[in-house]
Amino acid sequence: MTNFDIEISEVGPRDGLQSISPIMPTEAKKAWISALAAAGVPEIEVGSFVPPRVLPQLADTAELVTHAKAIEGVAVAVLVPNLRGAENALKVGPDKVTIPLSVSETHSLKNLKRTHEQVLDEVRGIRAAIDALPAAKRPKLEGGLSTAFGCTLEGVVPEDKVMEMAVKLAEAGCDEVGLSDTTGFANPKQVTTYTKRIHELLGPQMLTGVHLHNTRGQGFANVMAALEAGLTTIDASMGGIGGCPFAPGASGNIVTEDLVFLLESMGLRTGINFDKLFAARQVLAQALPEVELYGFTPEAGLPKGFSPATPQ
């Protein structure tokens, strides 16, 4: 982390767009990704290798990976649902591949149409496919612990089940695991406890990031808990767009613009330039004028005399 203390992973082009009906044109997506990179966003999840018939919005992911890979200084992340999706991803060379494992098996069956053991089999296959590549071309493999804090389908998700699945993902070959509040159920105590337990089980290097939703207004309280627990990567979506289409009521990604302000106001460098970040927001707004964008910071502006931690 040369120019930032906390890494913001922008998930708007994937998690943000996947729940939105109007298809954002590919060229507009490229312009948005380029604008995000120009603002200094260090990692961008550009899409998902799911069948186009399932999520037509993400049908151009391979082209977006190729576009983003040509931009210096940005790590390119993608989501894959299975080995076939991963094989398609590996053809275009992203820097990080994430496969979600829903701790709620009901959600797993709804989202991926696979049981826990079937998902773990997919992870093993992906690990083998990555290891078959030259060392320099191997992306990081992350296992995302979806519905870790609760599920709209099952309700309470036992903490011990989260720990069990974290260990199994590591054993199946993941380089790291990530906590994901897919449904906006998480509270700060959970974030702190789960992070501490996974660090004790697997080591702090195996869990560095968290994906939070602000569905019930807990998003930024959970960010603070994540920071205090030692996590260094926070997912966010520009304008707060998106959520999971397979988990009813799971709206509300945390707003990238507000997260950057929170961190920078605390003296934590994100590497992001505010003016260029707001310009990227305009690219998104112009491409999808019918989609409501959220965020207090873009509306209120920066406070008089505000001095970001990142040189602007």
Active-site amino acid positions: 244
Query: How many C-alpha atoms does 229 have within 13 Å on its Cβ side?
Result: 29
Residue 113: Cβ within 10 Å count: 10
How many whole angstroms separate alpha carbon 311 and alpha carbon 269? 9
- Residue type (1 letter), 214: N
The answer to whether the CB of 31 falls within 8 A of the CB of 259 is no
Which candidate, 1, 30, 6, 12, places its Cα nearest to that of 231? 6
Is there a contact between 238 and 280 (Cβ–Cβ < 8 Å)? yes
d(CA 230, CA 137): 29
Please give the Cα distance from 40 to 8 (Å, whole number).
10
What is d(CA 28, CA 19) in angstroms, rounded to the nearest whole number?
A: 17
Residues 6 or more apart in contact with residue 299 via CB below 8 angstroms: none
Tokens 């997912």 belong to residue: 235
Q: State the virtual CA torsion across 53, 143, 244, 119 in degrees, nearest 10.
A: 50
Q: For 254-300, where are the alpha helices, taking DSSP H only? A: 256-265, 274-287, 296-300
